[in-house]
């Protein structure tokens, strides 16, 4: 497989991982909020907590994705397979 093909597969896999992780965290936060607030929650409080949970999911997704990409880069030696992504900028 060519380097461009590997780069496309890497980006597709990373994007799918990122989206699945984000959806899973949003669902997890929503379930936890529903369990904490009970069957008849205050609408304003529920909306505010859902917003906080969504922002928390974005932050956690960013952190987990960064750590996972560092691990994958070291584990699978991505610098050798996709060198275009890891070259420094020319000055």
Q: What is the pLDDT along the chain (91 residues), one digit of tens a residue?
A: 777 787 788 889 999 999 999 999 999 999 999 999 998 999 999 999 999 999 999 999 999 999 998 898 889 887 776 766 656 666 5
User: Which residues have a Cβ under 8 Å from the Cβ of 83 and sit 6 or more positions away?
Assistant: 3
pLDDT of res. 50:
96
The per-residue pLDDT for 2 is: 78
- The pair of three-digit structure tokens given for residue 17, joined into one six-digit string: 């991982």
Of the candidates 56, 78, 89, 66, the one whose C-alpha atom is nearest the C-alpha of residue 17 is 66
pLDDT at 32: 96
Q: The whole model's pTM is what?
A: 0.81
State both tokens at 7: 């780069």
Report yes or no: 53 and 33 within 8 Å, Cβ to Cβ. yes
| Pair of tokens at residue 82 | 């996709």
Q: Which of 12, 25, 13 is nearest to 64 (CA)?
A: 25
């Amino acid at each position: 497989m060519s380097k461009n093909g590997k780069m496309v597969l890497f980006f597709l896999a990373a994007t799918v991982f990122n989206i699945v992780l984000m959806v899973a965290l949003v669902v997890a936060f929503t379930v936890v909020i529903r369990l904490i607030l009970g069957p008849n929650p205050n609408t304003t409080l529920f909306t505010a907590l859902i917003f906080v949970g969504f922002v928390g999911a974005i932050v956690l997704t960013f952190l987990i994705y960064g750590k996972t990409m560092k691990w994958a880069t070291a584990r699978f030696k991505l610098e050798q397979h996709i060198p275009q992504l890891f070259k420094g900028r020319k000055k």
